[in-house]
Structure 1
Amino acid sequence: MLNYPAAQRNTAPILEALLQHVSRTATGVALEVSSGSGQHVAALARQYPSLQWQPTELESRLLDSIGQHTAGLPNVRPARLLDAAGDWATQLPDMEAHSLSLVVNINMVHIAPWRCALGLMAGAGRLLRSGALLITYGPYAKDGLLTPQSNVEFDAHLRAKNAEFGVRDIRELEKAAAPHGLRLHAEIDMPANNKTLVWKKD
Structure 2
Amino acid sequence: MADKPPVALEDRGAGGDGRRYSPSAARNREPICDVLKAYLAMPARVLEIASGTGEHGAFLVEELPGLDWTYSDIDPPSLASQRAWRGADVTVRLHGPVEIDASSEDWEAAEQAGAWDAIFSANMVHIAPFEAAKGLIAGARRLLKPGGALLMYGPFARDGVIAPSNAAFDASLRSRDARWGVRDLDRDLVPLAQKAGLQLDAVVEMPANNLTVVFRNP
Identify the TM-score tier after normalising by the shorter chain: over 0.9
- The alignment of Structure 1 onto Structure 2 pairs a total of residues equal to 197
C-alpha separation between the residues in 2 aligned to 1:59 and 1:10?
21
Query: Is the Cα–Cα contact under 8 Å of residues 29 and 102 in structure 1 kept in the other structure?
Result: yes
Work out whether residues 45 and 116 of structure 2, in 8 Å CA contact, stay in contact via their aligned partners in 1. Answer: yes
Contact 1:30-1:51 within 8 A present in 2 as well: yes
Q: CA deviation at 1:28?
A: 4.5
- Tell me if 1:88 matches 2:106: yes
Q: Does 1:114 align with 2:114?
A: no
Question: Does the 8 Å CA contact 2:144/2:217 hold for their aligned counterparts?
Answer: yes
In structure 2, what is the Cα distance between the partners aligned to 1:96 and 1:63?
Answer: 21
Question: Which residue of 154, 175, 180 corresponds with 2:196?
Answer: 180
Unaligned runs of 5+ in 1: none
Q: 1:151 aligns with which of 148, 161, 166?
A: 166
Partner residue of 1:8? 26
- Per the alignment, residue 59 of structure 1 pairs with 75
Identity over aligned residues, as a percent? 37
* Inter-partner Cα distance in structure 1 for 2:92 and 2:175: 42
Question: CA offset at residue 86 of structure 1?
Answer: 0.7
Name structure 2 gaps, 5 residues minimum: 1-18
CA contact (8 A) 2:203 2:213 kept: yes
- Give the Cα separation in 1 of the matches to 2:132 and 2:68: 24
2:105 corresponds to which letter in structure 1?
Answer: D
Residue 27 of structure 1: CA displacement? 2.3
Report Cα offsets for 1:92-134 as digits up to 9, x if no partner: 3x63212211111011011111000000000011000111111
Whole-angstrom distance in 1 between the partners of 2:165 and 2:43? 39
Amino acid at match of 1:193: N
8 Å Cα contact 2:60-2:67 kept in structure 1: no
* Matching residue of 1:166: 181
Q: Which runs of 4+ in 1 moved over 6 A?
A: none
Opposite residue 94 of structure 2, the aligned amino acid is V
1:1-43 Cα deviation digits (max 9, x unpaired): 21010111111111112211113xx125210000000001111
